[in-house]
Amino acid sequence: MKTKTAPVVPGLPIASVERETGLSKDTLRVWERRYGFPTPERDANGERLYAQAQVQRLTQIKRLMDRGHRPGKLLALDEMALVALDAARPSVLATDNALHLDHWMHLVKTHDSEALQRQFYREMAKRGLASFVQDIVAPLITRVGEAWSRNELGIFEEHLFSQQLEKMFRTVLANMLPQHGSPCVLLTTLSGEEHTMGLLMVEALMVVEDIYPVLLGPQTPIDEIVRAAQLKQADAVCLSFNSGYSPTLSAQGLRDLRQLLPAGIELWAGGYGVKAIRKPIDGVSLMPEFQDLYDGLAKWRSKHG
């Protein structure tokens, strides 16, 4: 009599894990090298296969990242610690964050520029520049944009808020910008994309990460981006796209730029507008989230030592 063996449950391929967890393929590969997790098996063709238990843990980690926790810290926790952290007052944290942003919105709506500037500097001193950008500035810009679209704010209020924020960033960065660093990244936007706030936010994060940013400002023609990248010996070009920029124009512009850039110069694209680009573009790293920027940096440094 033959003994029945339990069927082997196959692991999920990396594309399925990306869809299930919301973590990009590049992120999964970087974590595997950098943190030793996840630890996928390999099929006969050498492709990664992820066990269901690892997919569940990755989903949990992504959920905690969305609540503001950093991945390096999360990946060092064991299963029990992750469960405890996941269960720790999510509704209260969400309410606190919402109330915090409500206070900022009140300052925007009441045109209190002096109070807005004071709050900017206080919050940045309390949190640090990177956390201030990700946890305050990014969601606040979203809130202001949504309020403007509902006619709760006028153009005057939106412009005043943007000018105060830009003023703060330029003052802070003027005292922090390095004279060298690695990689050297050229920051700009394509013609027709006039918003500079995304560039300033990325510049701030890069300075904290010891990257050498070269800010060209917005709306640089493609041939001039190529020329500047070569003259400045840039390792990468990073473009910013806001949600109002046409995804069709974004994708076409990135393809055109990639074709003209030397192969050794990487091309990164970030901002809310990148989320609307559905198909991958050969030779272009799409970075819709801040974490994608950190992962791209880790990948570059791993590759270049």
Both tokens assigned to 294: 């950190």
Verdict on whether the full-model pTM lies above 0.75: no
Give the model's confidence band at 94: pLDDT under 50 very low, under 70 low, under 90 confident, else very high. very low
- The dihedral region occupied by 181, where left means phi > 0, alpha psi between -120 and 50, and beta the remainder, is left
The 3-state secondary structure of the chain, one letter per residue = CCCCCCCCCCCEEHHHHHHHHCCCHHHHHHHHHHHCCCCCEECCCCCEEECHHHHHHHHHHHHHHHCCCCHHHHHCCCHHHHHHHHCCCHHHHHHHHHHHHHHHHHHHHCCCHHHHHHHHHHHHHHHCHHHHHHHHHHHHHHHHHHHHHCCCCCHHHHHHHHHHHHHHHHHHHHCCCCCCCCCEEEEECCCCCCCCHHHHHHHHHHHHCCCEEEEEECCCCHHHHHHHHHHCCCCEEEEECCCCCCHHHHHHHHHHHHHHCCCCCEEEEECHHHHHCCCCCCCEEEECCHHHHHHHHHHHHHHHC
Longest pairwise C-alpha distance within the chain: 85
Q: How far apart are CA 188 and CA 241, in angstroms?
A: 10
CB 191 within 8 A of CB 239: no
Q: In this predicted model, which residue has the larger pLDDT, 264 or 91?
A: 264
> Is 162's pLDDT higher than 70?
yes
Q: How far apart are CA 114 and CA 188, in angstroms?
A: 29
Percent of the chain with pLDDT over 90: 26
Which pLDDT does position 5 carry in this prediction? Answer: 46
Give the model's confidence band at 276: pLDDT under 50 very low, under 70 low, under 90 confident, else very high. confident
